Homo-oligomer: A and B are copies of this chain.
Amino acid sequence: MPSTPDAPEQVAPRPRRADARQNLDALLEAAKAEFAVAGVDAPVRAIAERAGVGVGTLYRHFPLRSDLISAVFRREMDACVAAAEELEAAFPPGEALDRWILRYTEFVATKRGLAAALHSGDPAYEPLAVYFSTRLAPTLERLLDTARADGAIAQDVEAEEFLGAVANLCHGGGPTARGAAHAERMVRLLLAGLRTPVA
């Protein structure tokens, strides 16, 4: 990851007081959970309540709704990137790739409404899109390169393109349970496709 500073600082620095740090973490966790069940349009009050905190506290840490969304997603993207490193260490390249893509699928599946937010034209989400490209894409690219060098996959594919395809598979079908299963089948199909020798 060449052009990204190692720890892209939060917009606001981490709070000095211990209770504030605890609340911030609780908010991020609660927001993640609410987003998973209600999409990114989850009510602010529900998030605050789940975190055991008042809405004022939420707004202290995240002045705009989009700030909270961005923070949660950056956090989960970072976790996704970290998972890649663990998987690379624990599994052979082909299997690491498969496992990571399914991990990524899980990430995307809990982000109902995110695509709409990103395409809403609201400039508040611009940094999130950039973060997506500069963190996730290089990670997958590395996994793909390693797997290809190992002979695990045959096809050549753009990392960003592949990430987009998987995201579309997970979102396009709607939020039904049937849709989720369908999405996973399609993703596995994509992964199988990577094994197919080039014509």
Chain A residues packing against B (C-beta within 8 Å): 112, 116, 119-121, 171-172, 174-176
Q: How far is the CA of A37 from the CA of B112 in the complex (A)?
A: 26
State whether A174 touches B116 (Cβ < 8 A). Answer: no
- Tell which of B119, B120, B121, B174 touches A121, judged by Cβ atoms closer than 8 Å: B174
- Given the complex, which residues of B lie within 8 Å of A121, measured CB to CB? 112, 174-176
Q: B172 touching A119 by the CB < 8 A rule?
A: yes
**CB-defined contacts of A120 to chain B, threshold 8 Å:** 116
Nearest-neighbour CB distance to chain B for A165, whole angstroms, equals 14
Which residue of B is nearest A123, CB measured? B174
Q: Which of A121, A175, A176 has the most CB of B within 10 A?
A: A121
One of B119, B171, B172, B175 near A174 (C-beta < 8 A): B119
Q: Which of B112, B119, B176 contacts A171 (CB 8 A)?
A: B119
Residues of B within 8 A of A171 (CB): 119
Other A-B pairs, 4, CB within 8 Å; known A116-B120, A119-B172: A116-B116, A116-B119, A119-B171, A121-B175
